[in-house]
Amino acid sequence: MTHSSADRRPLRLRQLDGVYLSSFFQDDKFRSAQSYKPRLDDVFVVGYPKSGTTWLQFMMCCILKKGQPPKKLEDLFQQSPFLEVVGGELVEAAPRPVIIKSHLHFDKMVFSEEAKYVCVVRNPYDCCVSFYHHTKNFPMYGFEEGTFQEFFDLFVQGQVDLGDYFAHLMSWYEQRWRPNILYITYEDIKSEPVSWILKITEFINPQLAAHFLEYPDGLEKVVNCCSVDAMKEMNAEFRRFTMVDLGACLDDSKNTSCDATRKPMSGDFVRKGIVGDWKNHFNSDQIERMKAKIASVPNASSVVAELWKGIDLP
């Protein structure tokens, strides 16, 4: 059954240049991110929200530090700034090496043939579930009492933070052939973490990959610090996190939604970190509607079938 817009609990979002955004993103910083011109030594981790970008961000920082993970969120933000949140000027000034995190569509950013991009994608069913819990946990969305049905209705319409999942998926999929893009799935990394950590290392820093092969203890440290259990140790850090920690509200005191971004999240940022949690949330009607949504996007059916042929999707 399709639910009317009147039945849905709306998220606290606005549109900027055609993109749905929460108060986590300031207009000037977001536009600055879209116009940021990458440096020759820039390394990006890109992906749709809740597709594994924070996991990869953390992993790639551990790689560059040879198995030493960020202990606090401030350390993570310094080593890996979030482009759309802090803006291009701060990223430009950040000391290198740096891992730049971004949720931008391919056609919404200035692409460079010289920079490197690690693009992570996650199947739409699990991504939707993870995004639902994320949205409930952050007060800025005004969705604390929201249900999965309400969020699902918004997700398939693309009316969630940073917009439509499938538009993002297809924008980067169509560019995966480029030699400076490493295109990987969340599920593949979960199934073979050692192999994929080595591939990521070889892609962003071949010298480090050689180091890990010669000294496997360093590689083991990276694998261990990026496990779900290790990542969950950061949940206390995420719970104290607000947008104020990035200074993003300091010049926005007149924004009526700013107070919500000053409130810390509830729940756990790193929740389960598994493949297949969608089975605990989707009912038969939602499965059929997701399949219909996939079928309505040009080429998406074949792309989803190709990328996730090894897992049990409807």
CA nearest 134: which of 22, 270, 35, 247?
270
How many CA atoms are closer than 13 Å to the CA of 181, on its beta-carbon side? 20
Active site residue 103: yes
Placement of tokens 């924070």 in the chain = 54
Q: Give 21's strand partners.
A: 14
Catalytic site residue from 3, 103, 134, 281: 103
Q: Around Cβ 271, how many Cβ atoms within 10 Å?
A: 17
Q: Do residues 44 and 63 make contact, with C-beta atoms less than 8 angstroms apart?
A: no
CA torsion, points 299, 304, 307, 311, in degrees to nearest 10? Answer: -160
Output phi, psi for 208, to 5 deg. Answer: -65, -35
Q: Residue 172 class from Cβ within 10 Å (0-12 exposed, 13-18 middle, 19+ buried)?
A: buried
Active site residues: 103
